[in-house]
Amino acid sequence: MSSHVIDMVLLRNNFGTADMRSIWSEHNRLQKHFDVEAALALAEGEFGIIPRSAAETIAKNAKAELVDFAEIASESAKAKHSLNATIKALQSLCGEDGEYVHFGATTQDIVDTGTILQLKEAHALILSELKEVAGELAKLAEKYKRTPIAGRSHGMQGLPTTFGFKLSVVLSEVNRHIERLQGLEARTFTGVIAGGVGTFASFGPKGPEIEANALQRLGLSVPEICWHSSRDRIAEYASVIGLISGTLGKLANEFYNLMRSEIDEVEEPFAIGKIGSTTMPHKRNPAALEGIASLTRPILHSVSLIQDSLIVEHERDAMSWRGEWIALPEICIYLSAQLLSTKTVLQGLIVKPDNMLRNLNLQGGLLLSERVMFALAESYGKQTAHELIYELSMKAIEEHKPFQDVLVANEQVAKVLDATKIKELLNPETYLGSAVEKVDQVLVKQHFRLAVLDDAEALLDLTLRAYQPIRDLGINFAAAHADLDLVKKHITHNLCYVLEQNGKMIATVAIRLPWGGQPGPAGLPHIGWLAVDPANERQGIGSKILSLAEEKIVSDLKSPAVTLGTAENHPWLSAMYESKGYHKIGTKDLGRGHTTVYFKKDLQASKVTQNI
């Protein structure tokens, strides 16, 4: 019988998913060790370190299903060694060629590289699930971006916000986690096959080439030097898992609180048959939310254990190393449960806008004290207005009077605000600041993506409709007269981005690369094919996608500047680009019936702003 919640048949699905358990299973762990042994043998066979025939025999027999796990376990217990019995089992399968198994390698080469292979598989699941969570958050943020809800600080109502705004804060956080995961791929998924103390001495002069060849076969990066004693790769990945878990736990805890009977603004998905209590039949408990939040603390403690492993004795030791064996599978498995459960909760979340509005009015207008204060500040000054509204707020609370009545009865207030104006100021639905605009800003990034060939027909339709005014002016931009083949080439050869709204493509912009087939005039990334669906004009979308393209140029291409071009005789495009920080750098006749004027913009990271 199992003795850990991860594997208990009755509990395991609360603590992990079958897919993630499979990745960290004993069978897959051993198979990854065999995969490394096979890749090493094939590399050594290619370089003549061992016979090619022996390498092929080793690779053929490096299958976990061919060995007896119980026998390996028994031999390991006798040998007091974690890998030697595995090596002997593979050797036995290979007959005389088994003498060449594990030729020159050390245990940590095989185990570390095998762990990275497992982590790479886990990463694919984590990244995919996290993107799905982001997608569900985006749907809810869009739907409820104008739905007012009480914003709370220190557990108390503070000011109105919107439910979509709350979700967009989390969505922005999740998107940063996605960027973190993608950013660490090259560093993390790096193997190591360097021998006893990492010097390749046992491999001879071709050691580094053998390592590179073997790791290439495994789909891993090659380290610049042995990392047996450098555990930062795994510690970094674990730290990001901790951040992701923290976000999911925070979201679940927030929903848990909003689901309280006294607040009752949201509820996790419910279906008849779900039991809240064995003794209180009426209860509809936040079981899923508790499950999500409960896993963050174990993950963070296990992340700490992995970080403790950063301190290593000399070139390597097993004391710190084995902490990773315990903690890394656990945090990946626990996180898989959090991700799946969070996605399920978001897909079926019961949102209660009427209760949100009820709670906004619970304090009889006190929630809008700030708004009243600033209305009075125009006449009395901010600090004086603050003192006055503080006194009136405390009076309303202590004497259990409606805030509106207290304001109307006050002579100082009445000199500036009449009863009608006070009533307007106390409407929480009209004091949302820039909440909706900030939600849109987050969502624009969420729906801004690289085009693929399957987008070609939709992109052609959008482009031709958007460029109709250009054709009417007799300007012969390539985009204005595009056909399907040209659009496909455009997608393939450039960084072509599209912006979607409710599943429909509404805008596009492309970045031509300096090393591509159509470089710009100054050896810099060059923007082109900027188009907005005519049905979505005059909403600032063109400015939004231009800013997003500039951000990509800074963050992804690390370029200090960008260029673009337009027709000199276009009535307003040159002025528009100049208003966005572009300056003219020259003109050229490209033989298209008009003179092209080129612009450049300096893109210092601190100055790239989003016009959204």
CATH superfamily of 107-192+227-357: Fumarase/aspartase (Central domain) (1.20.200.10)
Two tokens, residue 600: 């450049």
Are 68 and 145 contacting, i.e. CB atoms less than 8 angstroms apart?
no
Q: From the options 2.60.120.380, 1.20.1050.10, 1.10.275.10, 3.40.50.150, give the CATH code of 12-100.
A: 1.10.275.10
Helices 232-258 and 107-143 pack at an angle, to 10 degrees, of 30
> Hey, which bits of 187-241 come out as E strands?
none
Q: What's the confidence (pLDDT) of residue 606?
A: 39
Could you say which residues of the chain have pLDDT below 70? 605-612
Q: What is the CATH number of domain 447-607?
A: 3.40.630.30
**What positions carry a catalytic annotation?**
154, 277
Phi and psi of 418, rounded to 5°?
A: -90, 175
In 3-state terms the chain splits into helix, strand, coil percentages (rounded to 5) of 60, 10, 30
233, 518, 530, 583, 605 from 554: Cα distances, Å: 26, 20, 18, 18, 6
- What whole-number distance in Å separates Cα of residue 261 and Cα of residue 350? 14
Q: DSSP string of 567-594?
A: ETT-SSHHHHHHHTT-EEEEEEE-SSSS
Burial label for 109, CB within 10 Å (0-12, 13-18, 19+), is buried
Two tokens, residue 520: 């710009």
Cα–Cα nearest to 446, from 492, 498, 495: 498
- What whole-number distance in Å separates Cα of residue 295 and Cα of residue 342? 12
- What whole-number distance in Å separates Cα of residue 352 and Cα of residue 268? 11
Q: What's the confidence (pLDDT) of residue 270?
A: 87
Two tokens, residue 573: 């495009």
Q: Is the dihedral of CA 49, 52, 53, 55 positive or negative?
A: positive
- What whole-number distance in Å separates Cα of residue 8 and Cα of residue 2? 5
Residue linked to tokens 């208990």: 8
Let me know the angle formed at the C-alpha of 111 by 110 and 112, rounded to the nearest 5 degrees: 95
- What whole-number distance in Å separates Cα of residue 250 and Cα of residue 244? 10
Dihedral of the alpha carbons of 377, 383, 384, 388, in degrees to the nearest 10: 90
- Within 8 A by CB and 6+ apart from 155, the residues are none
- What whole-number distance in Å separates Cα of residue 118 and Cα of residue 314? 26
Single-letter code of the amino acid located at 500: E
Q: DSSP string of 244-284?
A: HHHHHHHHHHHHHHHTSTTT-SEE----TT--S-SS-TT--
- What whole-number distance in Å separates Cα of residue 103 and Cα of residue 210? 11
State whether residue 56 is helix, strand or coil.
Answer: helix
State whether residue 572 is helix, strand or coil.
Answer: coil
Assessment of whether the complete model's pTM goes beyond 0.85: yes
Are 150 and 160 contacting, i.e. CB atoms less than 8 angstroms apart?
yes
Instruction: Report the residue count for the chain.
Output: 612
Q: What's the confidence (pLDDT) of residue 134?
A: 96
Phi and psi of 183, rounded to 5°?
A: -70, -25
Beta bridge partners of 153: 156
SS (H, E, C) 376-419: HHHHHCHHHHHHHHHHHHHHHHHCCCCHHHHHHHCHHHHCCCCH
**Residue 598, number of CB atoms within 10 A of its CB:** 18
| pLDDT tens profile 162-182 | 999 999 999 999 999 999 999
Q: What's the confidence (pLDDT) of residue 612?
A: 36
- What whole-number distance in Å separates Cα of residue 486 and Cα of residue 460? 9
- What whole-number distance in Å separates Cα of residue 6 and Cα of residue 17? 9
Two tokens, residue 356: 């949100």
DSSP 223: P
- Within 8 A by CB and 6+ apart from 4, the residues are none
